């Protein structure tokens, strides 16, 4: 996203980062996308409950500011790798919800033609190299994409999203080390939602803050409140500038919370109802951003309602598109295992 | 020296192939542990770092999982990496990226990407390196749809198949037997490819088909030569690729000879010999069989250190001679 003009910036000099850096139109679009992520996941969950979608899914409801804030400073051809909890990243990087719903419904119009589903959702044309079912699996791949950027001199920056669970995988440590020794244009974004499935970071991780692990690889480690959009976007903006300048990687720890369980099998026996309600009622990232936008005069109630209505239409249309789309032919079972050659 | 008779070692042939690939395509680069100034644990990369620079012959930290993942990520974003695992045993450390990522990425993403990565695995026993540096794990990877797995048995094929692998849009795993690195043979100059997925009949014969892989091809040829004097005429099929398998060449050979012996170094049970036996048993060649199918594979044990024990672990020429003779003479 390109920034706001200088005169406009001066009048907002005391506001948080995003209100100085982006135009009101851009910020309203960000709110639109955060709602789109939330309603997409609620819509997917409802379709799952009604038996329209099979398998499982990992919802990021409550983490929307993290996905959006990280992606705001990225250029269209910058790339990301994502996680099993990756619907928000996909939408934040520019995906259409209709094709995402189609993928969840297993249809040929889906981003992966029905072969990947929720856990492998991708949008290569928009720079999303894919969600990943293996915790930390995407981190070395992001480093490889950043190596391509450096070798091919494309100027692309690569973001690797992962959760707190990934920071105890060997792949995390090997990848961060290589990115640092080769000064690659990659940003490691740890979305710490407090739990790797059921195990809290306090029980699983020797350091208090995952960002502290950056010191082991001589890169900046930044902690942000992942539920405050401006904080996330500001950290991402600085990391993108650093990467683009050839100064190497950054590790950002975005502290956030998932309102829903780990997956559809979660009985929420490892955290209290009070804890969940506290995050939902007092620290919801969409509520926080929307309130700021309204308080700072970037949007009024009518504008908010217009966004909510537009999102509701997009979700309904997306589900209809998915339902109406064709399923793959059984005869096409082995397509895409290997590259088709003439 | 006549260019047509030029001989190179298997290791030199691979090195020449990598140099040609880098000359032809700026996207090709090498990654691996100690492949730079050290020249690779088996001197396969040799002095390539001096000729192509440290930006294209990249020493990685000792990070097989991360290194394999970096190669996969570079491959899906436009580069053509050739990644060397220092020993094929270390595939165990990189299996996640090989099996879950490289093999499946194109499929999971509905054909939106290809993964043109080449991975090289120095494999096999015979160097006194004991149990963790001597294994033959090619069948593990041969079990994974999405990968292509090859085992060149000659210097000529080592070069031609590597150049085919670099040009291939999908992940190609190359298992190179360490004892072959010093083997000399005719290697044409310049660029040529040997197709992936095509077996080669190394020796024609009427009485018995030996399907062999990698170093066992030469051992099978030696056994066949020894049995010539006894009037036993052996056909030797060099499988060359274990995924995708060249079923037809095997079937046609067995239909001609009516006997099948599979010889491979990897642990016998659940190995490539089981697959070759089954493909013959399931085919029209079954009706042509005059004797039970026999497999000679590695013993059901890790590779031991003691040299006599080590030799006894894998099929040797006398073992092949004995098994072939028994098969043809109807002892089995």
Q: A98 or A6, which is more confident?
A: A98
Point out the residues of chain B with pLDDT beneath 70. Answer: 1-4, 332
Task: Spell out the alpha helix ranges (H) of A93-130.
Answer: 97-104
Closest residue in B to A77 (Cα–Cα): B77
Residue A1 has pLDDT above 90, yes or no: no
Question: In this structure, what CATH number is given to the domain that contains residue B260?
Answer: 3.40.50.920
Same domain, B174 and B138: yes
CB-CB under 8 Å, A339 with B61:
no
What is the C-alpha separation between A206 and A166, in angstroms, rounded? Answer: 13
Question: In this structure, what CATH number is given to the domain that contains residue B10?
Answer: 3.40.50.970
Spell out the residues 6+ positions from residue A229 whose beta carbon is closer than 8 angstroms to its own.
Answer: A18, A30, A34, A65, A68, A69, A285, A288, A289
Which of B65, B79, B107 is facing A148, going by the closest CB pair? B79
Instruction: Select from B186, B213, B238 the last residue of a domain.
Output: B186
Nearest Cα of chain B lies from the Cα of A223 at a distance, in angstroms, of: 25
- Count of domains for chain B: 2
Chain B residues close to A143, C-beta within 8 Å: 66, 69-70, 73
pLDDT on residue B331: 76
Closest residue in B to A132 (Cα–Cα): B101
pLDDT on residue A7: 59
CB-CB under 8 Å, B69 with A143:
yes
**DSSP state letters, B112-128:** S-----EEEEEE-S-SS
Distances (CA, A) of B133 to B121, B127, B142, B216: 11, 9, 20, 19
pLDDT on residue A207: 97
Same domain, B236 and B262: yes
Same domain, B237 and B164: no
CB-CB under 8 Å, B169 with A337:
no
Q: Average pLDDT for residues A4-32, to the nearest whole number?
A: 87
Same domain, B275 and B177: no
Instruction: Select from B160, B186, B212 the last residue of a domain.
Output: B186
pLDDT on residue B239: 98
Q: Average pLDDT for residues A232-249, to the nearest whole number?
A: 98
Tens of pLDDT, residues B158-211: 999 999 999 999 999 999 999 999 999 999 999 999 999 999 999 999 999 999
pTM: 0.96
- Give the pLDDT band (50/70/90) at residue A342: low
ipTM of model over 0.85:
yes
Which of A48, A109, A72 minimizes the C-alpha distance to A240? A72
Q: Average pLDDT for residues A183-191, to the nearest whole number?
A: 98
Chain B residues close to A77, C-beta within 8 Å: none
Which of A183, A179, A157, A184 minimizes the C-alpha distance to A241? A157
Instruction: Select from B186, B209, B238 the last residue of a domain.
Output: B186
Determine which helix (DSSP H) or strand (DSSP E) holds B172, and give its type and residue range.
Answer: strand B172-177
How many residues are recorded in chain A?
342
Closest residue in A to B95 (Cα–Cα): A137
Which residue do the tokens 């509520």 mark? A287
Q: Classify A8 as helix, strand or coil.
A: helix
Tens of pLDDT, residues A59-95: 999 999 999 999 999 999 999 999 999 999 999 999 9
Do the beta carbons of residue A30 and residue A22 sit within 8 Å? yes
Instruction: Centre a 10 Å sphere on the Cβ of residue B258 and count the other Cβ atoms it contains.
Output: 17
Do the beta carbons of residue B13 and residue B187 sit within 8 Å? yes
Per the structure, the complete domain to which residue B251 belongs is given by 200-328
Same domain, B297 and B240: yes
Chain B residues close to A79, C-beta within 8 Å: 77
pLDDT on residue A13: 87
Same domain, B24 and B145: yes
Which of B65, B78, B107 is facing A171, going by the closest CB pair? B65
**Domain A16-324 in CATH 3.40.1010.20:** no
Tens of pLDDT, residues A279-295: 999 999 999 999 999 99
Chain B residues close to A128, C-beta within 8 Å: none
What is the C-alpha separation between B97 and A171, in angstroms, rounded? Answer: 10
Interface test with A, best of B25, B29, B66, B95 (most A CBs within 10 A): B66
Nearest Cα of chain B lies from the Cα of A14 at a distance, in angstroms, of: 41
What is the C-alpha separation between A127 and A337, in angstroms, rounded? Answer: 22
Do the beta carbons of residue A131 and residue A86 sit within 8 Å? yes
- Give the pLDDT band (50/70/90) at residue A10: low
Which residue do the tokens 């070692």 mark? B9
Same domain, B180 and B208: no
Which of A140, A173, A181 is facing B73, going by the closest CB pair? A140
Spell out the residues 6+ positions from residue A117 whose beta carbon is closer than 8 angstroms to its own.
Answer: A55, A103, A104, A106
Active site residues of B: 64, 133
Task: Using the Cα atoms of residue B54, residue B59, residue B65 and residue B66 in order, give the sign of their dihedral.
Answer: negative
CB-CB under 8 Å, A145 with B110:
no
Which chain B residues have any C-beta within 8 angstroms of a chain A C-beta?
27, 29, 55, 60-61, 63, 65-79, 81, 96-97, 100-101, 105-114, 145-146, 148, 169-170
Same domain, B31 and B158: yes
Q: What is the dihedral of CA B50, B55, B60, B64, to 10 degrees?
A: -110
Chain B residues close to A142, C-beta within 8 Å: 73
Which of B73, B145, B146 is facing A143, going by the closest CB pair? B73
In this structure, what DSSP letter does residue A115 have? S
Same domain, B41 and B178: yes
pLDDT on residue A11: 76
Which of B55, B113, B146 is facing A124, going by the closest CB pair? B113
For residue B194, tell me if it sits in a domain.
Answer: no
Chain B residues close to A174, C-beta within 8 Å: 61, 63, 65-67, 69
The count of C-alpha atoms lying within 13 angstroms of the C-alpha of B323, restricted to the half-sphere facing its C-beta, is 22
Same domain, B47 and B156: yes
Do the beta carbons of residue A148 and residue B79 sit within 8 Å? yes
Parse chain A into domains and list their residue ranges: 16-324
CB-CB under 8 Å, B70 with A147:
yes
For residue B115, tell me if it sits in a domain.
Answer: yes
Residue A232 has pLDDT above 80, yes or no: yes
Instruction: Centre a 10 Å sphere on the Cβ of residue A215 and count the other Cβ atoms it contains.
Output: 12
Residue A9 has pLDDT above 90, yes or no: no
Which of B60, B63, B109 is facing A112, going by the closest CB pair? B109
Closest residue in B to A118 (Cα–Cα): B108
Chain A residues close to B75, C-beta within 8 Å: 144
Tokens representing A106? 């297993």
Tokens representing A292? 């700021």
Closest residue in B to A133 (Cα–Cα): B100
Q: Classify B184 as helix, strand or coil.
A: strand
Average pLDDT value over all residues in chain A: 96
């Amino acid at each position: 996203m390109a920034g706001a003009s200088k005169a406009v910036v001066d009048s907002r000099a005391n506001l948080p980062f995003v209100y100085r850096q982006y135009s009101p139109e851009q910020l309203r679009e960000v709110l639109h996308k955060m709602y789109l992520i939330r309603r997409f996941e609620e819509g997917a969950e409802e379709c799952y409950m009604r038996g329209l979608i099979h398998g499982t899914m990992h919802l990021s409801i409550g983490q929307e500011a993290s996905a959006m804030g990280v992606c705001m400073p990225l250029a269209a051809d910058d790339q990301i790798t994502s996680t099993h909890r990756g619907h928000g990243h996909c939408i934040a990087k520019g995906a259409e919800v209709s094709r995402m719903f189609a993928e969840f419904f297993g249809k040929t119009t889906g981003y992966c033609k029905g072969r990947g589903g929720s856990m492998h959702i991708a949008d290569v044309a928009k720079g999303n190299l894919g969600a990943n079912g293996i915790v930390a699996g995407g981190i070395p791949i992001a480093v490889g994409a950043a190596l391509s950027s450096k070798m091919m001199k494309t100027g692309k920056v690569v973001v690797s999203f992962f959760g707190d669970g990934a920071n105890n995988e060997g792949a995390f440590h090997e990848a961060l080390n290589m990115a640092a020794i080769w000064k690659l244009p990659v940003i490691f974004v740890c979305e710490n939602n407090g739990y790797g499935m059921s195990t809290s970071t306090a029980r699983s991780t020797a350091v208090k803050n995952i960002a502290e692990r950056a010191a082991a690889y001589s890169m900046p480690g930044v902690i942000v409140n992942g539920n405050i959009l401006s904080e996330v976007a500001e950290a991402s903006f600085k990391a993108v500038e650093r990467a683009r300048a050839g100064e190497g990687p950054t590790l950002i720890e975005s502290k956030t919370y998932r309102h829903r369980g780990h997956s559809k099998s979660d009985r929420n026996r490892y955290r209290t109802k009070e804890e969940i309600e506290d995050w939902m009622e007092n620290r919801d990232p969409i509520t926080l951003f929307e309130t700021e936008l309204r308080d700072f005069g970037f949007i009024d109630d009518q504008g908010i309602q217009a966004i909510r209505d537009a999102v509701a239409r997009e979700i309904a249309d997306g589900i209809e598109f998915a339902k109406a789309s064709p399923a793959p032919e059984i005869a096409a079972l082995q397509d895409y295992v290997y590259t088709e050659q003439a | 020296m006549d260019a047509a008779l030029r001989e190179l070692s298997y290791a030199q042939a691979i090195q020449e192939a990598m140099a040609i690939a880098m000359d032809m395509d700026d996207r090709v680069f090498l990654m691996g542990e100690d492949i730079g100034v050290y020249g690779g644990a088996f001197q396969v990369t040799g002095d390539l770092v001096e000729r192509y620079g440290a930006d294209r012959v990249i020493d990685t930290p000792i990070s097989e999982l991360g290194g394999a993942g970096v190669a996969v990520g570079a491959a899906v974003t436009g580069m053509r990496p050739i990644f060397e695992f220092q020993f094929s045993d270390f595939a165990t450390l990189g299996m996640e990226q090989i099996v879950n990522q490289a093999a499946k990425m194109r499929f999971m993403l509905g054909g939106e990407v290809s993964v043109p990565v080449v991975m090289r695995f120095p494999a096999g026993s015979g160097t006194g390196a004991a149990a963790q540096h001597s294994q033959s794990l090619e069948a593990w990877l041969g079990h994974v749809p999405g990968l292509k797995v090859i085992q060149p048995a000659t210097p000529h094929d080592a070069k031609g198949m590597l150049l085919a692998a670099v040009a291939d849009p999908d992940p190609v795993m190359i298992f190179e037997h360490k004892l072959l690195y010093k083997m000399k043979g005719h290697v044409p100059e310049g660029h040529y490819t040997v197709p992936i997925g095509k077996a080669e009949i190394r020796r024609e014969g009427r009485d018995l088909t030996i399907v062999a892989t990698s170093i066992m091809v030469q051992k099978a040829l030696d056994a066949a030569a020894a049995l010539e004097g006894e009037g036993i005429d052996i056909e030797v099929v060099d499988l060359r690729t274990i995924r995708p398998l060249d079923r037809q060449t095997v079937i046609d050979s067995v239909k001609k000879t009516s006997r099948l012996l599979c010889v491979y170094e990897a642990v016998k049970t659940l190995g490539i010999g089981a697959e070759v036996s089954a493909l013959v048993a399931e085919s029209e060649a079954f009706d042509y069989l005059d004797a039970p199918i026999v497999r000679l594979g590695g013993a059901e044990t890790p590779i031991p250190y003691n040299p006599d024990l080590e030799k006894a672990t894998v099929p040797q020429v006398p073992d092949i001679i004995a098994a072939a003779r028994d098969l043809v003479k109807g002892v089995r």
